[in-house]
A = this chain, B = another copy of it.
């Protein structure tokens, strides 16, 4: 039985409490929040859970095997480090950290301590994302040419972080998981129209160096809510519409294709590419709560040391892109070359300087 302590009982923490309580193989023994009303409300519902106002007390408990950190991003590093040093397994809310060096240090410490370090990239456990990954791995859509992601809405504008750090981790983690390799170059543009100078509308463009580009539109100021990703392959294409209840994934048997060469009188202006429109297939995607599946996955990983889908490295890769976005945004869309992920610890560099 995995005994879990949850730090942070604001927006997301109560969900973590619920799924670890309901999951076979885990329970929640302690929770913590600096605002006592928050943990008291949860304890009223789950009388067996003990509440704390100080995270150190929770981390120090012997009956906590895994610490889940659901606090604002600027406290992730300190809390996760302390939990690791105490020999606890750790699950960190996304974004993993606000600094890639901190992320690297956490990964290193966890490895040395022999504890599990996970990041809460919940979307990777949705049946829709799992289906997309399976389809692409099976070659169903061919080589992926581009990814186009739109996540826009009237959103909860925050002062501490910009819209990129708030919304893009979802989509960046999905692309990281589905595509399975890292981008080489980042361009991010954006603008602030509200307060604090933080971008509330932003565009991120990733170049993977091999023809694949991925673009992300994140926006706190859109009157319409859109959560849609297109995976354009050279054989087929996938649309992922996360707002649809019944048709989250659609596979289009359509694409651009070379056509037989036809010579004209003057040899000019002959198209050699045509497009093909075929059937659309909407596979049934079962309903299942992603967070519950993630909790079960973590319990299995602890019990049987199976590899983690959402390990610290996954968190680090996303943070590196977010850092590069910030640098590009600060310099109004400057190109930022990402160090090869193998070269751990390398800083993103401005293209002009490379």
Residue numbers in B under 8 Å from A246 (CB-CB): 225, 277
Please state if B207 and A333 are interface contacts (CB–CB under 8 Å).
yes
Which among B148, B222, B223, B333 is the interface contact of A205 at CB below 8 angstroms?
B333
Please state if A237 and B223 are interface contacts (CB–CB under 8 Å).
yes
Which among B155, B224, B277 is the interface contact of A284 at CB below 8 angstroms?
B277
Please state if B230 and A211 are interface contacts (CB–CB under 8 Å).
no
Residue numbers in B under 8 Å from A255 (CB-CB): 154, 221, 223
Please state if B280 and A282 are interface contacts (CB–CB under 8 Å).
yes
Which among B146, B193, B201 is the interface contact of A193 at CB below 8 angstroms?
B146
Residue numbers in B under 8 Å from A211 (CB-CB): 191-193
Residue numbers in B under 8 Å from A344 (CB-CB): none
Per-position binary interface string of chain A over residues 246-284, scored 1 when its CB falls under 8 Å from any chain B CB and 0 otherwise: 110000111110100000000001011111011111111
Whether A221 contacts B146 in the complex (CB less than 8 A), given A194-B273, A207-B332, A284-B278, comes out as yes
Which among B203, B212, B230, B352 is the interface contact of A352 at CB below 8 angstroms?
B352
Chain B binder among A50-58, A157-165, A297-305: A157-165
Cβ-closest chain B residue relative to A72: B269
Whether A156 contacts B271 in the complex (CB less than 8 A), given A145-B193, A146-B191, comes out as yes
Per-position binary interface string of chain A over residues 178-216, scored 1 when its CB falls under 8 Å from any chain B CB and 0 otherwise: 000000010101111111000011010101000111010
Which among B148, B274, B284 is the interface contact of A217 at CB below 8 angstroms?
B148
A334 at the B interface (CB under 8 A): yes
Whether A154 contacts B193 in the complex (CB less than 8 A), given A145-B201, A205-B203, A223-B237, comes out as no
A219 at the B interface (CB under 8 A): yes
Q: How many copies does the complex hold?
A: 4
Residue numbers in B under 8 Å from A247 (CB-CB): 280
A335 at the B interface (CB under 8 A): yes
Residue numbers in B under 8 Å from A193 (CB-CB): 145-146, 211, 232, 234, 256
Residue numbers in B under 8 Å from A157 (CB-CB): 256, 271, 273-275
Q: A155-B275, A189-B215, A205-B333 given. 7 additional CB < 8 A pairs?
A: A157-B273, A157-B274, A189-B205, A191-B207, A194-B273, A247-B280, A280-B281
